[in-house]
Amino acid sequence: MPNTIIIPPSSRRRRRPLVSAGVGLVILAVIAGAYWSLRETGMLDELAEPARLMERIRALETAGPILVVVLMTVAVVVTPIPSAPIALAVGALYGHTWGTLYVAAGAELGALLAFALARLLGYTFLCRWLGDRLSFSLLGSQWTMMGIVFVSRLLPFLSFDLISYAAGMTPLKAWRFAAATLAGILPASFLLAHFGGEIASRDIRRLAITSAILGGLVVVPILWRLWGGRSQALGK
């Protein structure tokens, strides 16, 4: 009977953070490589010029949606890169239906990568170093954290990127984060893609209506927050 090597549980526990860190570094390297490729090809500079970006995407024909997803993914993971111009260009090219799907797919993938990086490079080591002293009781249950992620996706003044990284530092399950993120980004993706389509159509009336809706998404949450703070102050 061949000899078997039994790895003690303590050794397996010590190796888990190292494996997680290795996977996280691989993801980081892939993202860095994608960012470098986009910069070297001049794609990042074209984000400030939607017309040039649209021409680049259109020139790729059937491969255009792949570039869109890559651009949106990198824009979410690499915080300084703006994602709104990409979404507007996509809406102008593909319309609000397909544009929404492409924008949402890239945003979802980028959010999951940011979540995975924070989870693998941050949360795992926090758990190892702090052990029982690490507590997330103030965040509530899994459903509560899932609700926080969902609501944060609907508020345009909250950073999409930072929320993804912050969620990865909590014990929120990955599938719950993915579901809450997808549910929250679909409305925003639709509006951005639709807005890009309206710009391309140059229909002033429809453009004004869409602008009013987008403006409402920004103003209404702010007014709600101010009203809630005022109500609490009057109740004291």
pLDDT band at 29 (very low <50, low <70, confident <90, very high): confident
- Higher-scoring residue by pLDDT: 127, 116: 116
Structure tokens at 137: 């009781």
For the chain, the average pLDDT equals: 75
- Residue 71: phi, psi to the nearest 5? -60, -45
Instruction: Give the single-character DSSP code of 133.
Output: G
Q: Rounded to two decimals, what is the model's pTM?
A: 0.72
* Model pLDDT, residue 9: 46
- In DSSP notation, 72-107 reads HHHHHHSTTS-SHHHHHHHHHHHHHHHHHHHHHHHH
Q: Is pLDDT at 73 greater than 50 in this prediction? A: yes
Domain boundaries, the chain: 9-205
pLDDT band at 155 (very low <50, low <70, confident <90, very high): confident
